[in-house]
Structure 1
């Protein structure tokens, strides 16, 4: 577990995800020797996103991101992927919280459709 800016960023993102819609659950998956903490995953009626910490960024990967509306252009990574899209947040970045929350809500709605 990191204790620098990434830990604060992860905590903020976790709060945004869990607060976006009632019934979103968090589960840690894919624990392995190279990543003993595993990968936090968030679901409601199916996978919404994963939350990973890297040396230079925090990455939120939306499982069905390519199918989500993103009018504020929050997605900035995996833009060429067929199904998923991601948001990379670096130390100096300011996340548009309202737009990010809207993506989470859209992902839940897509899972329920």
Structure 2
């Protein structure tokens, strides 16, 4: 197999985690495991030239890595309840919300799993609402 040709999105995410080789790779691997625990039917994608994406009935979140932060961006985060206050970034927009994870941060695993499950439920409800409805006779 060439470097990236023919690799599955999951294999590309594995490679990103390995290539980072520092706390960012560990953080990305950790949140990935939590996402999979929270949403076992999650589908991993690789979009926008190298961004890990987790989907179930639509995008749940993306996992971007920067020099000093791992950013989990929830596509519909503004519509999700966040009782634990995990969202700490991208708070000014009207759709997305993000969680910036810095080196040494301790992540509330239960709260993150709840957010992932809420995102899946929201995606499922939006998908159901978009399903074709039977025409009313009138």
The alignment's TM-score, normalised by the length of structure 2, stands at 0.76
Match of 1:30 among 44, 48, 59: 48
Count of aligned positions: 107
Please show how residues 1-113 of structure 1 align to structure 2 within 5 Å: 1-31=19-49, 38-113=50-125
Mapped partners of 1:83, 1:95: distance in 2: 23
Mapped partners of 1:97, 1:28: distance in 2: 24
Task: Give the unaligned 5+ runs of structure 2.
Answer: 1-18, 126-138
Report the CA distance between 1:89 and its aligned residue: 0.3
Greater helix share, structure number: 2
Mapped partners of 1:41, 1:76: distance in 2: 19
Mapped partners of 1:23, 1:10: distance in 2: 19
Report the CA distance between 1:22 and its aligned residue: 2.5
Could you list the runs of 4 or more consecutive aligned residues of structure 1 that deviate by over 3 angstroms after TM superposition? none
CA contact (8 A) 1:78 1:85 kept: yes
Q: Indicate the RMSD between aligned Cα atoms, in angstroms.
A: 0.7
Greater strand share, structure number: 1
The alignment's TM-score, normalised by the length of structure 1, stands at 0.92
CA contact (8 A) 1:18 1:25 kept: no
Q: Which has the higher contact order (CA 8 A, sep 6+)?
A: 1
CA contact (8 A) 1:51 1:59 kept: yes
Moved more, 51-60 or 19-28: 19-28
Report the CA distance between 1:23 and its aligned residue: 1.0
